[in-house]
Amino acid sequence: MRLGTSLMYAGDPRAVADEVAGWENAGLDVVWVSEAYGFDAPTVMGYLAARTERVEIGSSILPLYSRTPALLAQTAAGLDALSRGRAILGLGASGPQVIEGWHGVPYDRPLARTRETIEICRAAWRREVLEFDGIYRLPLPPDQGTGLGKPLKMLTRPVRERIPIHVAALGDRNVKMTAELADGWHPFLYMPEKATGIWGGALAAGTARRSTELGPLDVVAGGPVAIGDDVTGLRDLARPMIALYVGGMGARGRNFYHDLVSRYGYAAEADKIQELYLSGRKAEAAAAVPAELLERTSLIGPESYVRERIAAYAESGVTILNVTPIGEDPARLLARVKELL
């Protein structure tokens, strides 16, 4: 497995990005830049391209609804040029809360949008004329535009025709499409022991339709990591984040993270977290996150335990172990995890 880590939404992005240079020396292979409704990811990714030499730089994720497919292709091509071929375009539908509550656009047809965006980006990087007839109609029909626009191809020549595209997906149909079309898959709150039962069928169906030219699908998953005999209490640090996603990232009946935790076997607990969170009782929602869920979605414990968790992730098909180091010396911890891979 390769080793990755994600930069969080909060904090000083310049200071954290400067640290990545040290993490690169510690053996980090991929750094992912998150985007929700704080700072945008590409700005930070561009700075990372200038501060690093080897590490791959990926978005995790850019919401499909916030940019046109052509702009996504331009952004990825620009980052790939700045980093000399180290960019990864991580895409996802996000969810209704962010797309409608922040971007102010309808959350509609996420599967079709993902598929068409992947196809348009790859066509753009091949410098093909962008003629497309679907959700994104290029050129626009006469009754929706001036009729003056002509189909274009990318003005500049990308460093690579095939920039890797990763997709964040949880639902069966989205996972199936990801396994068919994408270069990588980002599941969230990934529990390796449950992965085959939850997603095995969708992955197999998508892989059966996958072009051999794409090669194997990368699977990017992991969790917070700390190594020591007295660190298990650090698992509780993930409670507010899990409560936010399970409880607050969507409405009742339309929250993908709530649905996933329910499929894991924690339906009653997921309902309780959501009820508490949506009623404003966020601390109680965090306290309601099951201890077993915290344990199984993290790599926190003695070295022997962390080694077992790494093996579980590898056995479930993970190819890029994505961890969040907890402690005063992240570079040293990442170097130790790298030794255990």
The count of other CB atoms within 10 Å of the CB of residue 39 is: 16
Query: Token digits for 169?
Result: 């997906």
CB-based contact 2:30 (threshold 8 Å): yes
Structure confidence at residue 68 (pLDDT): 94
Please write down the HEC assignment for all residues of the chain. CEEEEEECCCCCHHHHHHHHHHHHHCCCCEEEECCCCCCCHHHHHHHHHHHCCCCEEEECCEEHHHCCHHHHHHHHHHHHHHCCCCEEEEEECCCHHHHHHCCCCCCCCHHHHHHHHHHHHHHHHCCCCCCECCCCCECCCHHHCCCCCCCCCCCCCCCCCCCCEEEECCCHHHHHHHHHHCCEEECCCCCHHHHHHHHHHHHHHHHHCCCHHHCCCEEEEEEEEEECCCCHHHHHHHHHHHHHHHHHCCECCECHHHHHHHHHHHHHHHHHHHHHHHCCCHHHHHHCCCHHHHHHCCEEECHHHHHHHHHHHHHCCCCEEEEEECCCCHHHHHHHHHHHC
pTM: 0.94
pLDDT digits (tens, 9 = 90+) for 246-261: 999 888 888 999 999 9
Tens-level pLDDT at each residue, the chain (341 residues): 999 999 977 778 888 888 999 999 999 999 999 998 999 999 999 999 999 999 999 999 999 999 999 999 999 999 999 999 999 999 999 988 889 999 999 999 999 999 999 999 999 999 999 887 788 865 555 566 666 677 899 999 999 999 999 999 999 999 999 999 999 999 999 999 999 999 999 999 999 999 999 999 999 999 999 999 999 999 999 999 999 999 998 888 889 999 999 999 999 999 999 999 999 999 999 999 999 999 999 999 999 999 999 999 999 999 999 999 999 899 999 999 999 99
Domain boundaries, the chain: 2-225+301-340
Query: Could you tell me the fold of the domain covering 2-225+301-340?
Result: TIM Barrel (3.20.20)
Residue among 184, 167, 160, 154 nearest 74 (CA):
154
